[in-house]
Amino acid sequence: MGMSGKQVLVAENNAVTSEIMRVNLAAVELDVTIADDGLEAWERFKSRHFDLLITDQRMPGLTGVELCRFLRCEPGFGEDFPIIFVTGRVAEVQRQLAELDLSVVQIVAKPFSPKQLVASAWSAIRHQPLPSTVA
């Protein structure tokens, strides 16, 4: 486990891309779990806590937008839960998210800069609100 203790789920069906993400996020001490498709990501959310989702759009099983829609309906994963899309289809994702009235932290275009992705991930995690139980 990384020293930050922050858990990141990466949903990406391209093994090379997911490994680039994993290596760069782990280098800044984020704990990274890889899901090879949208359905696997959905199952992982049911069994474990994550602080951030980074997802591709086009994946087998569930697309990134479908995964986002399912998460937003779950308790604890409303608008405050950070989601970053990394996709080669930025306009398509923007349109689908707007049609479904879903918000995300950022949409990063592929090919992406690992440095930009790491900065976006840290920014998203740091800006999570405190739980309502904290005084």
Q: Is residue 97 part of a domain?
A: yes
SS3 per-residue string spanning the chain: CCCCCCEEEEECCCHHHHHHHHHHHHHCCCEEEEECCHHHHHHHHHHCCCCEEEECCCCCCCCHHHHHHHHHCCCCCCCCCCEEEEECCHHHHHHHHHHCCCCCCEEEECCCCHHHHHHHHHHHHHCCCCCCCCC
Enter the pTM of the model.
0.88
Is position 2 within any domain? no
The boundaries of the domain holding residue 108 are 7-126
Whether 130 shows a pLDDT value over 50: the answer reads: no
What pLDDT score does 16 carry? 96
Tell me the per-residue pLDDT of 64-103, one tens digit each, with 9 for 90 and over. 999 999 998 888 777 889 999 999 989 999 999 988 888 8
With 80 as the cut, is the pLDDT of residue 117 above it? yes
pLDDT confidence of residue 128? 54
CATH number at residue 51: 3.40.50.2300
Q: Mean pLDDT, to the nearest integer, of 17-38? A: 95
- Specify the number of domains making up the chain: 1
Residue 131 counted as domain residue: no
Answer whether residue 64 is part of any domain: yes
